[in-house]
Amino acid sequence: MTRTSTVLTVAGVTLVSGLFVYAVYFDYRRRNDASFRKKLRKEKKKIDKHVAQTKGDISVSIDTEDLRAALEKVRSEDMPGSAEEKEKFFMTHVGMGEQLSIQGPAFHLPAALSFYRALRVYPSPVELIVIYQKTVPEPVFKIVMDLMNMDVKERVEGYYNVFPPKNMKVKVGQVEAADGKKKILVAAEDFKAGDVIYKEQPIVTVLDLDLEGKGIYCTHCFREIEKDMAIHAEQDRWDAVYCSKDCQVNSKTQSENILFGLEPILPPQIAPDLTNKEERKAVQQVFVDYLKRRGKAVPLLVSRFLARQVAAETTKMIPAAGGSSPAASNSLEDGEYSFMDHIERLRYLVTSIPDEEVTLVANVLKAALPGIEAFVSQERQILLTGKMAYNAIGVCFGGGRHDKPDSDEHPEDKERTRTPYGTSKQIGSGFYAVSAYLNHSCDPSARPSFSSGTAELSLIANRDIKEGEEITMAYVDVSQHPDESPTDARRRRRIELACGWRFACTCTKCLAEGAQGGVADSDVPDQKDESKVEEVVQRVEGP
């Protein structure tokens, strides 16, 4: 497998990250529904006519406060729920926008607001902006752009005002680091040693592949399954085993029906079922065989994340569901930010994935919801792979297990999750949106615990932590093993960090040891130790 490994922070945050299922539906209508196309053409003609008439209009200047107040008003309005309601809303507001545009400069702001309302529900905003630029009178178009810039800026900047949720008692902070600004997780109040700082449910999980299908742990929540209580899902290509009906339903609704089941994704009143069950079954089987052959958790974490996004979006389109179902049942998804919002700001490894994997994931999603494959591009899959590989946390019960098969890959290619017990002791991996921000320390102030016997993560304070202090965890086993000298232990943990996450650790413990010229009673020259870590970091980061 070819690999590049530069560490990047996400720079661009997209305007609308979650509307892609609606986009598929909209495109479907545009391609297949003659009356819908006719309506769109009619609207465009009307706009063109007005543009011609309004050339030479004088614009009125609108100050920032008026613009902000207008934007606030638009944001506070109820948004249409289903795809059909969105389509109607879109048509109405484009129509109103053009009517208002011809009333003269005093109506430019209300006209722009109407066009902006339509833009907010349109699945491909960039495409619509290009249409607006050609068709909407220039002064009105300029206001639409000002509204959009203000909205995007406030939405992007406002994210950390609502995330992490206040009841988790932590905040995301930022500090200067050698490789740019580094995000950190900070205590929002004082904690005592042993306190549970917060509990967090994963967005997606994957049980270790050697445990899958055995009936020992639940595929969904990882709970140990009581004797004779295993529930095997029917018509499930993954052969998942659940501990309860609830887990089976949640798992099916969140991702598994899309990836490994045969039920239609959209109810018939929203869209006819265009899928071919035999074909769906066949592509799923090829994908399952591939996943098992590959033996890694990340491709399945990525597919489940993609499927969960699709499930959350399709749920919003179903009026009866009222936008809530297990697909979206994660407190983080309740607000105005989507699952994609919670991942796009995270650091990731730039990596590459086999072309076969890109095609198989796209094929499985396409077979479940034709058209969706356009939104699972190679670029998006590579990005998500890098994010999952960089941020996943290992789930270990008790001290961890001792029977996980080792892979014979090169140490830098082995799959690693962040866990103080070591990836070899875990039973599975999970992606946790808040815990993703925990930095590593070789003397960590907190530790993840799975004391509920499920993949729910409890972050426990290792010592007293003051409000405003950074909270850290160990990504690797930082203990000194009985057969290791302090220098051996230091070298092992620093090399593991370099292999897994491509950084030379700068935690207080490493810096203090470095300042002392190595660790006490060292039996290996520190210079040799450091050059080895740097060598690994450089090798994996490339030139």
Ligand X SMILES: C[S@@+](CC[C@H](N)C(=O)[O-])C[C@H]1O[C@@H](n2cnc3c(N)ncnc32)[C@H](O)[C@@H]1O
Contacts of 121-125 with CB under 8 Å at 24 or more apart are 121/79, 121/80, 121/86, 121/89, 121/90, 122/26, 122/90, 123/16, 123/19, 123/20, 123/22, 123/23, 123/26, 123/27, 124/23, 125/15, 125/16
Q: Please give the single-letter amino acid code of residue 418.
A: R
Q: Which of 198, 287, 339, 437 binds ligand X (CB under 6 A)?
A: 437
Contact segment (CB under 6 A) with ligand X among 21-29, 236-244, 434-442, 528-536 equals 434-442
390 scored as a contact of ligand X (CB under 6 A)? yes
Among 503, 513, 533, 537, binds ligand X (CB under 6 A): 503
Give the Cα separation of 62 and 34 in Å (integer): 40
What amino acid is encoded at 240 in this protein?
A
**Cβ neighbours of 244 (radius 10 Å):** 16
Rg (CA), the chain: 26
Among 171, 220, 342, 440, binds ligand X (CB under 6 A): 440
Stretch that binds ligand X, among 62-70, 93-101, 193-201, 432-440 (CB under 6 A): 432-440
Q: How far is the CB of 466 from ligand X (least distance, A)?
A: 20
Please report, as residue ranges, which positions from 202 to 231 form the binding site for ligand X (by CB under 6 A). Answer: none
Selected from 29, 44, 155, 182, the binder of ligand X by CB under 6 A is 182
Contact 526, 494 (CB under 8 A): no
Distance, CA of 329 to CA of 307 (rounded, Å): 14
CB atoms within 10 A of CB 84: 15
Select 366 or 416, whichever has its Cβ closest to ligand X.
416
For ligand X, which stretch binds (CB under 6 A), given 69-77, 144-152, 284-292, 431-439? 431-439
**Residue 163 binds ligand X (CB under 6 A):** no
Closest CA to 502 of 349, 279, 322, 344: 349
Q: Percent helix, strand and coil across the chain, each rounded to 5?
A: 50, 10, 40
Residue of the chain from 358, 505, 519, 533 that contacts ligand X (CB under 6 A):
505
**What is the distance between the alpha carbons of residues 43 and 24, in angstroms, rounded to a whole number?**
21
Q: Under DSSP, is residue 2 helix (H, G, I), strand (E, B) or coil? A: coil
What does the buried/exposed string (b/e) look like for 368-378 if buried means 16 or more CB atoms within 10 Å of the residue's CB? bbbbbbebbee
Q: CA 421, CA 307: separation in Å to the nearest integer?
A: 30
Among 93, 347, 387, 494, binds ligand X (CB under 6 A): 347
- Minimum distance, C-beta of residue 472 to ligand X, in the bound complex (Å): 7
Pick the stretch among 49-57, 162-170, 433-441, 525-533 that binds ligand X (CB under 6 A): 433-441
Q: Of the ranges 94-102, 300-308, 425-433, 499-507, which one interacts with ligand X (CB under 6 A)?
A: 499-507
Question: Going by C-beta distance under 8 Å and a sequence separation of 6 or more, which residues neighbour residue 371?
Answer: 24, 25, 27, 28
Please report whether residue 507 would count as binding ligand X according to CB under 6 A.
Answer: yes
> Maximum distance among all alpha carbons in the chain?
86
Nearer to ligand X, 450 or 503 (CB): 503
Binds ligand X by CB under 6 A, chosen from 363, 391, 429, 462: 391
**Minimum distance from residue 505 beta carbon to ligand X (Å):** 4
Name the residue nearer to ligand X (CB basis): 36 or 160.
160
Contact 440, 418 (CB under 8 A): yes
Assess 5 for contact with ligand X (CB under 6 A). no
Q: Which C-beta is closer to ligand X: that of 113 or that of 393?
A: 393
* Binding-site member from 21, 501, 513, 540 for ligand X (CB under 6 A): 501
Of the pair 101, 435, the CB lying nearest ligand X is at 435
Question: For residues 261 and 259, what is the distance between their CA atoms, to the nearest angstrom?
Answer: 6
Least separation in angstroms between CB 424 and ligand X: 20
Of the candidate residues 254, 314, 439, 462, the single one contacting ligand X (CB under 6 A): 439
Q: Does 115 bind ligand X (CB under 6 A)?
A: no
Q: What's the closest the beta carbon of residue 182 comes to ligand X, in angstroms?
A: 4
# binding residues, ligand X (CB under 6 A) = 17
Cβ-based nearer residue to ligand X, 91 or 184? 184
* Cβ 259 vs Cβ 304: under 8 Å: yes
Give the residue, chosen from 50, 120, 171, 183, that forms a contact with ligand X under the rule CB under 6 A: 183
207, 297, 343, 436: which one binds ligand X (CB under 6 A) = 436
Do the bridges between strand 231-232 and strand 439-440 make them parallel or antiparallel, or are there none, so unpaired?
A: unpaired
Q: What's the min distance (Å) between Cβ of 383 and ligand X?
A: 14
User: Is-cis flag, bond preceding 164, omega within 30?
Assistant: yes
Q: Are 225 and 243 in contact (CB under 8 A)?
A: yes
431 binds ligand X (CB under 6 A): no
Kindly state the smallest distance separating residue 497's Cβ from ligand X, in Å: 7
Binding piece for ligand X, criterion CB under 6 A, among 35-43, 116-124, 403-411, 435-443: 435-443
Residues that bind ligand X (CB under 6 A): 7, 182-183, 346-347, 390-391, 436-437, 439-441, 501, 503, 505-507
